A and B are shown apart, each in its own frame.
Chain A
Amino acid sequence: MAILTLRDALNQAMTEEMIRDPKVFLMGEEVGEYNGAYKVSKGMLEKFGPERVVDSPISEAGFAGLGVGAAMVGLRPIIEMMTWNFAIQAFDQIINHAAKMYYMSAGQFSVPMVIRGPHGAARMLGAQHSQCVDHMIVNIPGLIVVSTVIPKDAKGLLKSSIRNNNPVMFLESELLYGYEGEVPDEEYLIPLGKGDIKRKGKDITLVTWNKMLLLSLDVAQKLWETENIDVEIIDLMTIQPIDEDLIFESVRKTHRLLVVEEGWGVASIGCHIVDRVVKECFDDLDAPPERVFNHFVPMPYNKTLEAEVLPTEARVIQSIKNLLYIS
């Protein structure tokens, strides 16, 4: 197995799918001549030419709409957003057109399109460029939402997303494009809608995704070494639809649920998971479920404040101890 960075794994996924299917093309700001704002599309212009690796104008609403139209007439666009913060410009295209086209055309038009890019805080980028959009877009029927930062998962999931006939929103993380991990040499796909247990444990179920997975793994390791607390970590990977059965099965074993999510905690994915678990696993719960999320403020620019607004190790540990009734 090769060790690849997240950016290389994404590049491989797109390259392999473009070789496999001539209908697939990449479009976005700086994806061609500049090799991508974060170098995810490095070398692709050279390989596939300007017809299939298209530098777009700075107009998210415009090229997202172009993607919807191209998908409706049979192409399979991958739209790169420099960040999902900019994709907010394109929410009309995403929410009103991409998500609803299949339904409103009574199945005459499907939109096999992937919109991908980084989201969430990426260290001192200020309030407008540090947002988590996951809880905004999971609430739209018609969209599939994937959110991952592990190179192996990202590759397998992006390939599945490109082959899927629905609009798939693919959320990455700016800070982690250089994050390395093992990626199988042979071709593989990871199914959408399935989560993955990243750490087996027996004491509590911690559900998370994207870069909060890395924080959670660190905390789990620390608690295991210092306090003998055995945390089971579920990486959702696809956050719409979520792998409920995997969560229920784990909670029925540990009797405790913690959701660690980046982003604001009002009407969030964590809220939804807690709701489903309370409903389906009520008699298995030994403690009220806990959630850790951003403080409800626009992201401060200041480094110290930013670190405090995001979920911290201390808050995750406190929640775990609450769940275990350890004071």
Chain B
Amino acid sequence: MAIVMQMPKLSDTMKHGVVAKWLKKEGDKVVSGSPIVEIETDKATMEFESPSTGILLKIIVNDTESCELQAPIAVIGKQNESWEDALKNFNVPKKTETAPLKIKESSPVVSSIKTEVSSSSESQKIKLSPLARKLAKEKGMDIEKIQGSGPQGRIVLKDILEQESTPSEMILSAVSLSPNKIPLTSMRQAIARRLTESVVTAPHFYLKVRINMENILNWRSKNKNVASLNDIILFMTSRALTKHKDVNSSWQGDHIMQYSDVNLCIAVALPAGLVTPVLKQAHLKSLSQIAKESKELILKAQTNKLTSQDHQGGTFTLSNLGMMGIDDFTAIINPPQAAILAIGQLQPLPFFDGDDVSWKKGITLTLSCDHRVIDGAIGAQFLQTLKTYFEDPLSALFL
């Protein structure tokens, strides 16, 4: 039986081989153990011995040609033996080795499975820390259902623990009569930390003002699609803040920072808590721009698409519970900002003119101030300006 001679691996770093020179010709007699060919590796040219004794029937890779490692380079056998048959036999096991290729061509089922596997293992690869991987496996968790909080969405210990403590439906029904222990989400923790810090460290005081909204409402009834009442409040506030930079400030421990840019944080309620995306440079934007951007920000907040950029740089916060039927309320300052404006619902309110009382549609605004930054009179002046702007909208343009 003829033997197929393969390209040998002569060095560890060798990736393919080059036949430098055959030392025998086709038809020559060769002896096992005697040099038959010179092989060029990446390091050197070496003589290679014949693997058996017989006739060199066929040279497959000629002088100076190269081929893969283990590829057939020659066939050695007895006189008149068929080198083609030997090569065919040699290639049979080779073919089974590369079977997936063959199957892929002939069988669409297998190939589609293969594609699926490769796409899920590459493009949708889930990143998780080794510890998270181990714990998820131990607890039988489906990692595809876990949202990673680490860099590039890496699932880390915290995410596993949070997922684990999220009560499943089964547990809920079983313990429906007992108190429900709700694990803290990172958002809930952040709210708790920041607002506790605010209440504990910032000496709050509150100023309330009732505002007659008839003029604004008149204007709005003629320009219905331009903006919501909330947008108008954002607009007026941004203009009033440019006039009262001492309110558009923050407490920095050893100094006060006063801002020329008005970046308004808009408090947005979410099922899991509260976020305050920032409408940047509101003082430079028209009412319709403010309406458009605030709508976008609120939508982003509700669909969980806010970026860290959207959270940065706020100088003043507005919180509006008017649409939820709240008359007025006092808000907690969003640190390190110096003040927050709480907006109550639009409703008929009594306005006094001497002894006369008239009922007009109005809102109550409550300004919470950090006394370290803002004194009573400063806060009051700001609210006066705001009141003037609302009740006499033209003044927002000229004052």
Contacts and interface: CB of A to CB of B under 8 A. Distances in A.
Partners in one complex: yes
Nearest to A228: B193
Contacts of A282: 130
A284 B129 CA distance: 9
A127 interface: no
B149 interface: yes
A287 interface: yes
Contacts of A325: 149-151, 156, 158
B220 interface: no
B156 A287 contact: yes
A286 B133 contact: no
- Chief secondary structure at chain B's binding surface: helix
Interface in A298-327: 325, 327
A285 B133 CA distance: 10
B158 A283 contact: no
A327 B308 CA distance: 11
A255 B150 contact: no
B132 A286 contact: yes
28 contacts: A255-B131, A255-B157, A282-B130, A283-B130, A283-B131, A283-B133, A283-B134, A284-B130, A284-B131, A284-B134, A285-B129, A285-B130, A285-B131, A286-B129, A286-B130, A286-B131, A286-B132, A286-B156, A286-B157, A287-B129, A287-B150, A287-B156, A325-B149, A325-B150, A325-B151, A325-B156, A325-B158, A327-B308
Nearest to B149: A325
B141 to A, nearest CB: 15
Chain A, interface size: which category? under 10
B300 to A, nearest CB: 19
A287 B129 CA distance: 6
Interface string A178-206: 00000000000000000000000000000
A40 B308 CA distance: 56
A230 to B, nearest CB: 15
Contacts of B150: 287, 325
Interface in B120-169: 129-134, 149-151, 156-158
A289 to B, nearest CB: 11
Interface in A223-245: none
Contacts, number: 28
A255 B156 CA distance: 10
A325 to B, nearest CB: 5
Interface string A67-82: 0000000000000000
Contacts of B133: 283
A255 B133 CA distance: 13
Interface of A: 255, 282-287, 325, 327
B154 to A, nearest CB: 8
A325 B129 CA distance: 12
A284 B157 CA distance: 10
A63 B85 CA distance: 79
A325 B154 CA distance: 10
Contacts of B156: 286-287, 325
A190 B244 CA distance: 67
A143 B84 CA distance: 65
A257 to B, nearest CB: 12
A-B pairs with lowest CB-CB distance, top 3: A283-B134, A286-B157, A286-B131
B163 to A, nearest CB: 14
Contacts of A284: 130-131, 134
A227 to B, nearest CB: 10
A269 B157 CA distance: 28
Query: Quick one: which of B131, B132, B151 has the most chain A CB within 10 A?
Result: B131
Contacts of A285: 129-131
A201 to B, nearest CB: 16
A287 B131 CA distance: 9
Interface string B256-284: 00000000000000000000000000000
Contacts of B130: 282-286
Nearest to B148: A325
Query: Quick one: which of B129, B132, B133, B151 has the most chain A CB within 10 A?
Result: B129
Contacts of B151: 325
A252 to B, nearest CB: 10
A327 B151 CA distance: 10
A313 B132 CA distance: 30
Given A255-B157, A283-B134, 16 more contacts: A255-B131, A282-B130, A283-B130, A284-B130, A284-B131, A285-B130, A286-B129, A286-B130, A286-B132, A286-B156, A286-B157, A287-B129, A287-B150, A287-B156, A325-B149, A325-B151
